[in-house]
Homo-oligomer: A and B are copies of this chain.
């Protein structure tokens, strides 16, 4: 099958695991209203809606979304056109492998040749066209029976991401950039991250995987036999979901599959050339926003902000006016029931404050 340069990809399905609470974006993101449900870039669309829109030109209505019980109503509300059987509701959190594996098991039943791309619901990509070009290449490689990931070009020596070590170029029709994967490596320390960056031989692991459904399940059957069998049982008899789900191993696709399969030379990577951001905290969010007239980044209605001698990120989300004076690299997130004031340098520590709220009897705010 040849690879087209544009238009939908025949037999290609998008799977979107929509999970993760985005604790470091509190109080915007809450456990009951996580990051993927929010418009964090001022685009007018939530990150989930943006992800769906980004993939639709490739997979049309071949879409499955896996999300938690608690978020299903809001997902339905945000995606009114979502098919009746396009929402997999997980009875309890089990990390990414059970969700993606169940989607694959369901799709393998529908279409033995189905190629699946799995993409997180809460990442920001602006170069949609470049992104889709990488997905097209990944699909071409996936059809050859490999587990394919898309690797993000590092923009700095980040210690918050896992890395993918590039292997040799692959000769696959329609995938000129395809490489083997030598290994997946865990989040490095700063010095190691710097050496990865300098070598040019590493990409960030953004959890993007493209594979034939049957290939994924057969691989899983090799590395996690019980899990694959349970997932296929559920796909055969969906009524068994609530019975079998609690005993599924809680494990990520990286640990369950990608790491061991890479060791066995069964993983390929398309090094992406598009921009990418996981909007991990308010500091990275700030980098995605344009400056207002006052020189601050406003996530919300700029008319609600009066900022003098201020730099940083201001999210006026309560309808109140937010006035800042003489504060640098500040982060102010104003919501109807909670206010956060911190700095861009401390943005990643918001998580610890949220833990403190939880343990301090304020769990209803988290």
Contact = CB atoms under 8 A, between A and B. Distances in A.
Nearest to A321: B338
A337 B309 contact: no
A323 B338 contact: yes
Nearest to A336: B320
Interface of A: 27, 306, 308-309, 320-327, 330, 332, 334, 336-343, 345-346, 349-350, 352-353, 356-357, 360, 362, 365
A223 to B, nearest CB: 41
B321 A339 contact: yes
A342 B326 contact: yes
A363 B336 CA distance: 22
B337 A349 contact: no
A334 B356 CA distance: 21
Nearest to A325: B342
A306 B360 contact: yes
A320 B324 CA distance: 19
A353 B324 CA distance: 9
A28 to B, nearest CB: 13
A341 B308 CA distance: 10
Contact of A341 (B327, B345, B346): B327
Given A308-B356, A357-B306, A325 B339 contact: no
A105 B248 CA distance: 89
Contacts of A334: 339
A309 B343 CA distance: 11
Top 8 nearest A-B pairs (CB, nearest first) are A326-B346, A325-B342, A324-B341, A322-B339, A321-B338, A323-B340, A325-B346, A325-B353
Given A308-B356, A356-B308, A360-B306, A323 B339 contact: yes
A312 to B, nearest CB: 10
Most buried by B among A323, A330, A334: A323
A342 B324 contact: yes
A327 B342 contact: yes
A349 B320 CA distance: 21
Nearest to A324: B341
A327 B343 contact: yes
A341 B353 contact: no
Contacts of A349: 308, 325-326
A202 B324 CA distance: 37
